[in-house]
Amino acid sequence: MSVREPVLSVRDLVVEFSTRYGPVRAVDGVSFDVYPNETLGIVGESGCGKTVTGLSILGLIPSPPGRIVSGEIRLGGRDLARMPEEQLRDLRGHEISMIFQEPMTALNPVLTVGSQMVDVLRRHKQYTRRQARAVAVEMLARVGIPVPDKRIDEYPHEMSGGMRQRVMIAMALSCDPKVLIADEPTTALDVTTQAQVLEQIVKLQDEFHMAVVLITHDLGVVAETCDRALVMYCGEVIERADIDRLFEAPRHPYSRGLLDSIPRLRDDKLAELPVIPGMVPDLAHLPSGCRFAERCPRAAADCRRERPVLDGGPGSPAAVSCFHPLA
Amino acid sequence: MSTPLLKVVDLKKHFPVRGGLFRRVQARVRAVDGVSFELERQRTLGLVGESGCGKSTLGRAVLRLTEPTAGAVHLNGEDVLALSPEAMKAKRREMQIIYQDPYASLSPRRLIGQTIQEPLDVHGIGTSAERRRRVEDLLDIVGLRKQVLSRYPHEFSGGQRQRIGIARALALNPSFIVADEPVSALDVSVQSQVLNVIARLQREHGVSFLFISHDLAVIQHVSDDVGVMYLGALVEFAASEDLYREPKHPYTRALMSAIPVPDVKRKSKRIVLGGDVPSPMHPPSGCPFHPRCPEAMPQCREVVPPRVNAGTAAKPHYVRCHLYSDAGTAPA
């Protein structure tokens, strides 16, 4: 084991939303570390809590109805979970940045790309307007936008989806953050554009030595870009492993089921795709035992009675939360 | 040879773009620009392409949900575009559609039972007891329990809603269904359940599908034949196994290599295309793919590549690309 220090540590994070049916735990005891220069994937299906985890790190949970109930989010010796909003604002876009699925809603439609980028730079760095603009142009060039000194004066609607996502990335990286949280950054894009944007993120990570937390539902994207990954289900991390291990020998039956049910290009056509039977349980009515038991081919009596926990802490190389894991 | 179930000939759908002081037509978006294909009974044609390539418009034009600008559509030997409104309504019993968004395509204020039964009511089929029995059979086919009939759409997950949409489309026993991105809004674990339902309908109920998707892996799973669309044109068309074994058009190859593979061992060599899909309002000259094509030649900039058969007469493999132009021009 190396002695490198994590740049970001999340411990026992619990996030609740109040709903008509009472409080619902979208994130229920999530812990993980992110190291400099690594890409950590958080993967899972809709409602598993992956996006809420990402938003909590930046203090972006809409409150009310949401709130961080307990847990720590440590970045450089500070606990972001307890930090007042003004201090968080200094951090966001500076030490820690986030990019979202839909760049059109994340960019301001009535301001040019340039003025938005200049605002971010001047908020965090002591730049003059001219200096900030020069940095912005350079950033646009680095994310692969052709003729950046022209396109900087365009409005978001004048750009294609792929371009807008590049602008978002340029803006997110302009203050040289330590951590980039990317929430489904390529989900709204076509596959050929997705390939361009993912390639760009990997390349920039090497240049900026930042840590990336990549939140996605797409295991293909995880396999191609991440070093390690967390698999989430119903607000919990159910497996954590490095990518080789997760894809070669997943230990949680849910991870296995997810991998098997992805339609993928294959040489022989299958009559039926493998499926995970049933559906994700309602967060407001969770079973008391393992949350996956109802859909699990390996479930036994103990799974319905007790709730399994991860068998290793955040520092361990791999962990699974299952009474009957796969070998 | 028997007549195919569906025959589409040189189908075009152009949308006018109006502007200026008198709202004159200033340009035309050639969303579908001369598409021809045939679909045999009990087969599924997969139509793949990126957003804006015209695949959804093609699906809607075939069903006459949007009036085509030119071309012909024959379903069961009858010219769909020539039908009177009266005859068209009757014809619609043979052709149905399943939409992408299971949240938007079900009326939120109708019970599921009413929604599924509506087509039977509209076409006045059977007695009310027969209709009710038919609805229960339909639920069985798509794998839902009877209890759902007296519930509302908001009580269901995306996967269940999509099953309801499929049951509704099946109500009139159509021979042909357009499925427009039916699983794109669903999570993977549910997506495969719905894909299996669709595959079973084709196998056991003899329904033919035009299955539209941006996902080549999904298309491969359900399709017998595959067409690849780019800027309103079919750039490649072949039997599924031939197309996946040996994709010929550089665009198809790029599309295939761009899919992220959930496999850490098979790090595929990726062809990353430059640029974006051009606007169909101002398509490039010559081959519409040439500005992004890694294999573009001088002639690609000037000459629109004709459709050629790069396969055999028995197993045609149509492609629109100058790399194969000397294979001999096939009748369009």
Chain B hits for A162, CB-CB cut-off 8 Å, are 276
- Min CA distance, A47 vs chain B (Å)? 10
Question: What pLDDT, on the 0 to 100 scale, is given for residue B330?
Answer: 46
pLDDT surpasses 70 at B329: no
What confidence category does residue A47 fall into, taking pLDDT thresholds of 50, 70 and 90?
confident
For the record, the structure tokens of A216 come out as 């996605």
- Asked if B80 and B91 touch (Cβ cutoff 8 Å), the reply is yes
According to DSSP, the residues that pair with A46 across neighbouring strands are none
Residue range A28-32: mean pLDDT, rounded: 95
Distance from CA of B81 to the nearest CA of A (A): 33
pLDDT of residue A74: 95
pLDDT, chain A, mean? 90
Contact B272 A194 (CB under 8 A): no
Q: Which pLDDT belongs to residue A1?
A: 46
User: Which pLDDT score, from 0 to 100, does residue A206 have?
Assistant: 87
Q: Any chain B CB within 8 A of the CB of A217? A: yes
Interacting residues of A198 by C-beta distance below 8 A, sequence separation 6+? A186, A221, A224, A225, B260
Residues of B contacting chain A (CB within 8 angstroms): 50-51, 157, 159-160, 187-193, 195-196, 199, 214-218, 220-221, 240-241, 244, 254-265, 267, 270, 272-274, 276-277
Residue A39, pLDDT above cutoff 50: yes
Span A277-293, pLDDT tens digits: 888 888 888 899 999 99
Examine the predicted complex and report whether its ipTM is higher than 0.95: no
Which residues, at least 6 apart from B227, have a Cβ–Cβ distance to it below 8 Å? B37, B45, B46, B47, B48, B234, B236, B237
pLDDT digit string, tens, across residues B102-143: 778 889 999 999 999 999 999 999 899 999 999 999 998 888
What's the confidence (pLDDT) of residue B331? 45
Residue A104 has pLDDT above 80, yes or no: no
Query: CA nearest B274 in A: which residue?
Result: A196
Pick among B192, B196, B244 to test the A interface (most A CBs inside 10 A) = B192
Q: Give yes or no for residue A2 having a pLDDT over 60.
A: no
**CB–CB of B264 and A248 under 8 A?**
yes
* Rounded Cα–Cα distance for residues B220 and B45 (Å): 10
Q: How far is CA A183 from CA A217, A264, A314, in A?
A: 10, 23, 21
Average pLDDT, chain B: 89
Nearest CA in chain B to A246: B264
Residues 275-304 of A with CB under 8 A from B: 275-277, 279-280
Q: What is the pLDDT of residue B111?
A: 93
Tell whether the model's pLDDT for residue A175 goes beyond 70: yes
Mean pLDDT of A23-51: 93
What average pLDDT does range A220-240 have in this prediction?
Answer: 95
pLDDT at A267 over 80: no
The predicted model scores a pTM of 0.86
Q: Which two tokens stand for residue B133?
A: 């029995």
Q: Do A195 and B214 touch (CB under 8 A)?
A: no
- Comparing CB atoms, the residue among A190, A198, A223 nearest residue B263 is A223
Residue B96 pLDDT > 50: yes
Task: Give the residue carrying structure tokens 């912005």.
Answer: A136
What tens digit of pLDDT does each residue of A108-157 get? Answer: 999 999 999 999 999 998 899 999 999 999 999 988 888 899 999 999 98
Residues 6+ apart with CB under 8 A from B198: B166, B179, B182, B209, B211, B222
pLDDT digits (tens, 9 = 90+) for B52-86: 889 999 999 999 999 999 999 999 999 999 999 99
Q: Taking residues A85-111, what's their average pLDDT?
A: 89
Q: What is the pLDDT of residue A57?
A: 94
State the pLDDT at residue B263.
81
Residue A69 has a pLDDT of 94
Cβ pair A265:B220 closer than 8 A? yes
Across the strands, what pairs with A125? none
pLDDT bracket for residue B1 (50, 70, 90): low
The angle that helices A253-261 and B188-205 make with each other, rounded to 10 degrees, is 50
List pLDDT tens digits, range B18-31: 877 777 887 888 89
Mean pLDDT confidence for A153-176: 89
